[in-house]
Amino acid sequence: MSDGEGMSSLLDDLPRGRHADDIGSIESAFFEHPDNLAAAPSLRMDPENNRQAKMFLGVVGAEIRIGDQLANGRFPRWASGGVPIGVADDRHHFLLAGSRAGKGRSVLTPNLISLPKSTSVLVLDPKGDLAAMTARWRHQGLGQDVAVTDPFDCSGASTRSYRSAFNAVDFVVGSHPDVLTANAMLVADALVVENEQSKDPHWDESGRDWIGGLIAHVATHANYEGRRDLVTVWQLSSEAMQPLADDSGRYALEAEMLQSDAAGGFVRAAAQSFYGRSGSEFFGVASNARRHLSFIGVSAIQNVLRGPSVDPKKLKSGSLAWYVTSPAMRAPLMRGFQRLVVQMTLAAFEEENISTGHQTVFMLDEFQSLGRLRALETAIAQFAGLGAKLMIVLQDLPQIKAAYPKSWQTFLGNAGVLQAFGGNDDETLSYLSKRLGEALVKTKSLSQPGVSQLMRESATGSSFQLSSKPLLTPSEIELYFARDDSKLRQLILRPGFRPMILQRVFYDQSEYFCNRFDERF
Where residue 197 falls among pLDDT bands split at 50, 70, 90? Answer: low
Q: Write the DSSP assignment of 118-141 as a string of letters.
A: TS-EEEEETTSHHHHHHHHIIIII
The residue type found at 147 is A
Does residue 444 carry a pLDDT above 60?
yes
Does residue 478 carry a pLDDT above 80?
yes
**What was the pLDDT predicted at 27?**
82
**What was the pLDDT predicted at 453?**
58
Q: Give the residue-averaged pLDDT of 206-215.
A: 97
Q: Between residues 230 and 201, which one has the greater pLDDT?
A: 230
Does residue 193 carry a pLDDT above 80?
yes
- Percent of the chain, pLDDT > 90? 79
Contact 321, 362 (CB under 8 A): no
Which of 325-339, 362-376, 446-460 shows the lowest per-residue confidence on average (mean pLDDT)? 446-460
Tell me which residue of 79, 114, 83, 110 sits closest to 95, measured CA to CA: 110
Nearest-angstrom CA–CA distance, 219 and 252: 18
**What was the pLDDT predicted at 449?**
62
Q: What is the mean pLDDT of the chain?
A: 92
Q: Between residues 245 and 470, which one has the greater pLDDT?
A: 470
Where residue 220 falls among pLDDT bands split at 50, 70, 90? Answer: very high
Nearest-angstrom CA–CA distance, 379 and 374: 9
pTM of the model: 0.92
**What was the pLDDT predicted at 485?**
96
Quick: pLDDT tens for 398-443.
999 999 999 999 999 999 999 999 999 999 999 999 999 999 887 7
The residue type found at 514 is C
**What was the pLDDT predicted at 8?**
65
Contact 129, 515 (CB under 8 A): no
What is the CB neighbour count within 10 angstroms for residue 443?
10
Q: What are phi and psi of 106, to 5 degrees?
A: -105, -15
Contact 126, 334 (CB under 8 A): no
Where residue 322 falls among pLDDT bands split at 50, 70, 90? Answer: very high
**What was the pLDDT predicted at 456?**
56
Quick: pLDDT tens for 15-50.
888 888 888 877 889 999 999 999 999 999 999 999
Nearest-angstrom CA–CA distance, 240 and 236: 6
* Arch. (CATH architecture) of 34-164+310-439+470-509: 3-Layer(aba) Sandwich (3.40)
Nearest-angstrom CA–CA distance, 417 and 102: 18
Quick: pLDDT tens for 103-152.
999 999 999 999 999 999 999 999 999 999 999 999 999 999 999 999 99
Q: What are phi and psi of 431, to 5 degrees?
A: -60, -45
Contact 156, 134 (CB under 8 A): no
The residue type found at 475 is S
What is the CB neighbour count within 10 angstroms for residue 172?
26
Contact 439, 29 (CB under 8 A): yes
Give residue 360's Cα distance to chain centre.
12
**What was the pLDDT predicted at 406?**
93
CA angle 113-119-123, nearest 5°? 65
Quick: pLDDT tens for 329-353.
888 888 999 999 999 999 999 999 9
Contacts of 51 (CB under 8 A, 6+ apart): 116
**What was the pLDDT predicted at 237?**
97
**What was the pLDDT predicted at 462?**
61
Nearest-angstrom CA–CA distance, 407 and 417: 18
Contact 122, 310 (CB under 8 A): no
Tell me which residue of 416, 410, 409 sits closest to 434, measured CA to CA: 409
**What was the pLDDT predicted at 12?**
87
The residue type found at 109 is T
Query: Maximum distance among all alpha carbons in the chain?
Result: 116
DSSP SS3 for 149: strand
Does residue 461 carry a pLDDT above 60?
no
Q: Write the DSSP assignment of 126-195 as a string of letters.
A: TTSHHHHHHHHIIIIIT--EEEEE-TT-TT-GGGGGGB-B--THHHHHTS-GGGHHHHHHHHHHHH----
Quick: pLDDT tens for 275-304.
999 889 999 999 999 999 999 999 999 999
Nearest-angstrom CA–CA distance, 421 and 79: 15
Domain ranges, ordered by start, for the chain: 34-164+310-439+470-509, 169-300, 440-469
**What was the pLDDT predicted at 428?**
98
What is the CB neighbour count within 10 angstroms for residue 86?
24
Which of 37-41, 173-177, 435-439, 463-467 shows the lowest per-residue confidence on average (mean pLDDT)? 463-467
Q: What are phi and psi of 124, to 5 degrees?
A: -85, 115
Does residue 184 carry a pLDDT above 80?
yes
Contact 79, 64 (CB under 8 A): yes
Where residue 327 falls among pLDDT bands split at 50, 70, 90? Answer: confident
Where residue 4 falls among pLDDT bands split at 50, 70, 90? Answer: low
